[in-house]
Structure 1
């Protein structure tokens, strides 16, 4: 195979989209309501791929679990108002997606973000018309690191998992791909904490930037 994989599935936040600025705006709505000073982007960015609860834990470390849990829905509501206003695709993403499409291959999105929020992100970048499938964290009975969302996507689109590739910036992405029998790419340009060791995740390919994936030869086979 000399072209791109026939189906490439992507994580959303931290892989396709630099959504940290939108998340920061939502966090700072909550902080302002509590009379706290704004958080800094650098403080929040490493936690974005781990979801709302991880971001709240990083942003409100003095609150107990129950108090932070009570902030989950207000955070999601605030984030919904900020979607697409601040975040942008990572540099090189649009060129990579265009190259995949030009090769006649398809791409889709499998994210742990609630589906209703993910669907609101896509129109800003015309991804709703281009993505072959969107599976959110609440679309199915399981979410990543469970393999079901990846297996479901491949099945719906009629491609064997071994002929697909999953691209993600979090260990859960790589664990899910391995369990689904799907080759994987570690997106090193995404969101990571300082104690993360992407090499230990055992992805098939590690890519420093989306530009590295413009060449089909760099993809796992």
Structure 2
């Protein structure tokens, strides 16, 4: 019977998995609303949309605006978000200890996010991860992004690990779909952002974890494929 050990490598989604970035994104949305004479929105109203990206955030904040108009506002959102980056958000409880446990076990870790790469890279010095994060791939780094498996397979290649020996951790269905297509074991991060209609059981990840602290022990991680 296989013995549980820490994975050789772990790739993480960023927003809603490692980082509670909702406050930064809501600050960006509120700046857009203020420019249009509208009041701020409650954090809890926008929070479930964060892992769906800029388009979903704008749609939730401006439901009366048609899609082409919302699409044209994405650069404005990203500009506001860049100014708010790292000012309000924070790591989820237990992330620091979990990453330290991986590093102590000799595991390599990196980030595969659908956030634009330049924004993700701006966060690395803020979080103190410039030397710790072995690979970072954003939503615009490659020709395709999650749920396509390409970002995960390229990340594994860059750190020299077979996808089957690497675990992907994410809080959105696209994360689990990408991992499955890449042949990579997956962890559903239940502490992240979800809409009311989301059913993480239906995503069929290898394991579902309630809190990052559970991943401090090797036994919680899925076995290699």
Q: TM-score, normalised by structure 1?
A: 0.99
Query: Which whole-Å deviations, capped at 9, do the CAs of 1:97-120 have from their partners, x for residues lacking one?
Result: 000001111100000000000001
Structural mapping, 1:183-202, within 5 Å: 183-202=185-204
Using the TM superposition, give the Cα deviation of residue 122 of structure 1 relative to its aligned residue in structure 2, in angstroms.
1.4
Give me the CA root mean square deviation: 0.7
Matched, 1:137 2:155: no
Contact 2:4 2:221 in 1 (8 A): no
Q: Distance in 1 between matches of 2:11 and 2:67?
A: 33
Residue range with higher mean Cα deviation, 56-65 or 120-129: 120-129
Report the equivalent of 1:90.
92
Structural mapping, 1:119-130, within 5 Å: 119-130=121-132
Provide structure 2 residue ranges, at least 5 long, that are not aligned to the other structure. none
Moved over 6 A (4+): none
Provide structure 1 residue ranges, at least 5 long, that are not aligned to the other structure. none
Identify which of 22, 25, 46 aligns with 1:23.
Answer: 25
Identify which of 7, 29, 49 aligns with 1:5.
Answer: 7
Report the equivalent of 1:76.
78
Using the TM superposition, give the Cα deviation of residue 3 of structure 1 relative to its aligned residue in structure 2, in angstroms.
2.6
Give the number of equivalent residue pairs: 221
Report the equivalent of 1:157.
159
Using the TM superposition, give the Cα deviation of residue 39 of structure 1 relative to its aligned residue in structure 2, in angstroms.
0.7
Q: TM-score, normalised by structure 2?
A: 0.97
